[in-house]
Structure 1
Amino acid sequence: MVKQTSVPARRIPSRLVTQEWIEKRIASGVGQGVRELYRPWIKVRSVASLGSSHIVPGVKIQRAHHLLSKAEFHFHLILEHDPAVIDIREQFPLLPQAETFSIACSLGYRPVFYPRTKVPLVFTTDFVITKVAEGGGEKIVARTVKYRSEIEELSPKERTRLLEKLAIEKLYWSRRGVDWKLVLYEHLSPLHIQNLVKLRSHALVSALLATEKYFQRVTEFIDQSKTDEISLRLLLTKLSKALFIDYKVVKSLFFHMLWQRRLLMDFENQEIDLARPLKVFTPRSIELNICDERRDHA
């Protein structure tokens, strides 16, 4: 089972940031590394956040992820569930500072400094994501996550300043050939997120349970079942009896297979609810349907 720590937003005592402090952090490896060795530039307990922050043990990358809002946490779930994603680096620093400072000046913007100092701000991008490219190999994309309300509720002056910061961030990544986008939380599917929240605690299960033998037996059972005609609870009860395994264990295995995409469903249009039917497919059943369609059009 995977558990996360939710940390309420709180006011962090302000401290004067010095260039020496920043350089020490860089020298120690903060903001560098990949996968398990990556160290976020910002951690939950070091900054005030919007809403609840989360320290989340990774299920794709085996390290703690530091997510500064509910929006970041929910977007992180989508990334973890995406099979094309192979690395997630949150709170990624845009270094060197001199470059973002120079970009601001070139765009005619007032450079950003840490409060009460003349130390240029270290910009950060919420997520730097490594994905498997369509033609093979890897590609990096960058995503910043905001609430629409977070932008709309700003004063005109504050909104202009935020848009300037986003423009600096976008140009920084454009110079590196990296696709950068702003993700508005309100554009994410609430049902998709709700389903992922239910499944994530089953993303990692005992090695004794996550075996090809059990995967095959569940797959065969689903292929022979009309999953959309009975409640999910009844389906799992029948599966429990067929496998001679406790109901709770079968439920965990079933949810694990949904998370790992060994079982398939429409995440954006179906709710995982034990009291209601859940139309579930297997990769094998889809392959058979494709073959049948090809024969029909031959």
Structure 2
Amino acid sequence: MLKPSPLIPTVWQSYFNLCKSNVVIEMIFTSTVGMLLAVPGLPPWSALVYGNIGIALAAASGAAMNHYVDRDIDKALNPHRPIPMGYLSPSQVLNFAVVVGIMGIIILAIMVNILTAILTLVSMLGYAVIYTKYLKRMTSQNIVIGGAFGATPPLLGWCAVTGSIHPHAILLVLIIFVWTPPHFWPLAIARLDKYQQIYNDHKIPMLPVTHGVALTRLHVLLYSILLLVVTILPSITGMSGLIYLAVAMPMGLGFIYYAILMRRRQDAKTAMATFWYSIVYITVLFAALLIDHYFRITL
């Protein structure tokens, strides 16, 4: 009898793959930054631990629901995912998403506070249902709209510690919201053939397909300029000091530089380079906010 191929994941590995761990880790990083920025010193350990566990479970649930809802287009766009590969059935994925999501919300409601639980539930359902099921299929500005739901982790982290919504937490959300389009559209340009195929087969309107690559590159440039402006606001409002500003300015100019390169070179390689830079950008930016919070330098 032939042994199972080592390339075929176990059932548990398949369930883990549903969670989009790289995305969840990035979300937990930004939620932790929100928690730490919410107080002068360190937040209570219970909010830090249980808050991040609940947020992570809710994010994993939303990711799994995305697998379930997008199972039709994943045959072309993400054929390696568990459902297209036949590793898990749609019902298994749906059940997993529901159970994990309920666990996350219960942990937040009991161990953290009701406001964080409600905001997390709204964010999870907004991404998994409103965006993935409907808005994603209705408008080429789907990434912009979807970014509103994906930008909430720092707000959730802040609320987990304070039990309230602060303008500085909203500012963190705004940064991620404006960052999302110029982060994703370069990837959409690099994978244009696949998005053209799913538009032909399933009518998913991605901006490079419906309005052209040239206009999408212009959007990336304009959003990168807007992002630079938005990321200066923490320093203007007194939320952060010179350390953060010394990082935000060159990183923002670097984003604009990559956006200009995309317009000049017009190739998939430059688009992918811009996409990877955007990931480094948001990580470094939030790390700078955190460092500045504890080692503040002001004029």
Q: TM-score range by the shorter chain?
A: under 0.3
Using structure 1 for the length normalisation, give the TM-score.
0.27
Q: Which has the higher strand share?
A: 1
Q: Which has the higher helix share?
A: 2
